[in-house]
Amino acid sequence: MQIDDTKKLRAYRGHIVSPQRGGELKDFRDGILIVDENGVIVFVGEWSEFEKQNKPLKDIQHFGDRLILPGLIDMHLHLPQVAVTGKSGEHLLKWLERFVFPSEARCADPDYALRISNWFFDELARNGTTLGVVFATIHKQATDIAFEVAAQKGARAIIGKVMMNANSPPALTEKLEDSLNGSAELCDKWHGYDDGRLMYAFTPRFAVSSTSELMSKCGELWHSKPGSYLHTHLAESQEEIDFVMERFPKCRSYADVYHQHGLLARNNIMAHSIHLDEDDVKVLKSTDSSLAHCPSSNFFLKSGIFPYRKIESSGIRFGIGSDVAAGPQMSLFCVMKDANYIQPDNWISPVELLYRATLGGAQALGLDHRIGSLEAGKEADFIIVDPSNRTGIIDDILSQPTEEILSALVFLGDDRVVESTFVRGKEIYSRQKTPQLSHSV
């Protein structure tokens, strides 16, 4: 293929690995990724093939045998909770009350909201996450600040103001009208910003803290805003489910509560979705719902085991999420490892796990025509990765077969392996250029 080098092109040479549909890997050992001035990929392939057919390129960054991977997609995490990572010792409902709600209440203060948003988006980029699907808090202003910070830092994100109008502490309980109007205004302001780099998700926290009216009106609002998302938690812990069934006794199950309120449809994200019966799986499939599997969080809060193979064979689209802070860290490499470890009887291969954290997530979000893998025509969201930055991994790991490298990444990788992060062709994090980040709130 001949490349038109009259355009301002940037090229990145290294070991390019990109998961494909059906478990295949695109693997160019000495590969070249070429990106145009709009951040769109114009070529991916072997350097030797490219060199034969094209004039020399001016602007090439050389990464040697380090990996160039698609950016990681975190399907579910909470912005205000970066301040309470690692606070453990309780199941879901008690943990929320003791650690999470007090820290979320602090976001009423816009200065605090700004500090925590800066911290959050710095961490996201540092961990190689190029798309986060993010719960903010109930505060409209704090959510607006989160969007501002994401816009300014070049992050890609789907963000939503949390909606809570029942069974919540007074500082986190809002009036129905305020919840709906605030969400609608934020969606109108931010959904589609910068050609879709930022998008909006209507975000009722869960059925525990939502009235029936909030859920149905939220559903109507979501359906009236084309392309927007609906993001919530489903069937995470048994205690939560018992509470929900007490509140909505006419519904057959937790999934049915959302179904009855119009929240099951394409463009939703149901985080966790652990405790599901056959009918729940059928309705999630028939409504084209998407799931976010959060294994680290499920370990941490002892919530249960996601029925991975059952969901996979049902054809329901799903990706993985860190669920910070119920997941104690943002690194999706750690989450991939946990997705393997938490299954008692299934082996999920490193290649498949990497697929779930990239293209699988993009498919679940209906964005695989734009991101999720390194292919010509897609936007250039990618990361440069060197597993040998992490002590405990053999120094010559990069010269091993690709599957061995991915195995080391998945089972031993964390934030330290990420050298730089690019969103739509723009570098938003570089380990070399970034001083040690310190944050206090």
Query: Which residues contribute to the site for Zn ion (CB under 5 A)?
Result: 323
61: exposed, middle or buried (Cβ count in 10 Å: 0-12, 13-18, 19+): middle
Closer residue to Zn ion (CB): 129 or 420? 129
Q: At what angle do helices 140-153 and 176-190 cross, to 10 degrees?
A: 20
The minimum distance between CB 167 and Zn ion, in angstroms, equals 16
User: Which helix (H) or strand (E) segment is 408 a member of?
Assistant: helix 402-412
Distance between CA atoms of residues 336 and 358, nearest Å: 11
CB 102 → Zn ion: shortest distance, Å? 17
Of 323 and 419, which has the nearer Cβ to Zn ion? Answer: 323
Which segments of 41-139 does DSSP mark as H helices, in order? Answer: 47-53, 92-95, 101-105, 110-126
Residue 75 vs 351, nearer CB to Zn ion = 75
Under DSSP, is residue 294 helix (H, G, I), strand (E, B) or coil?
A: coil
The least distance separating Zn ion from the CB of residue 92, rounded to whole angstroms, comes to 9
Residue closer to Zn ion (CB basis): 27 or 239: 239
Cβ distance to Zn ion smaller for residue 174 or 323: 323
Which of 123/323 has CB closer to Zn ion?
323
Q: Which is nearer to Zn ion, 47 or 243 (CB)?
A: 243
The rounded distance, in Å, linking the Cα atoms of 286 and 264 is 9
Nearer to Zn ion, 323 or 338 (CB): 323
Shortest separation between residue 187's beta carbon and Zn ion, angstroms = 20
Q: How far is the CB of 75 from Zn ion (least distance, A)?
A: 10
Q: Per residue in 193-221, is it b (16+ CB within 10 Å) or e — as a string?
A: eeebbbbbbbbbbbbbbbbbebbebbbeb
HEC string of 53-68? HCCCCCCEEEEEEEEE
Minimum CB separation of residue 141 from Zn ion in Å reads: 22
**Residue type for 371, please?**
I
Q: How far is the CB of 169 from Zn ion (least distance, A)?
A: 17
What is the full DSSP assignment across 306-317? --HHHHHHHT-E
For residue 303, the minimal CB distance to Zn ion (Å) is 10
Nearer to Zn ion, 122 or 323 (CB): 323
**Residue 74 zone, left/alpha/beta (φ > 0; ψ -120 to 50; rest):** beta
CA-based angle 31:34:38, to the nearest 5? 155
Strand locations in 205-297 (E): 229-234, 268-272, 290-293
Q: For 167-182, give one letter per residue: b (16+ CB within 10 A) or e.
A: bbeeebebebeebbeb
Min. distance of Cβ 298 from Zn ion in angstroms? 11
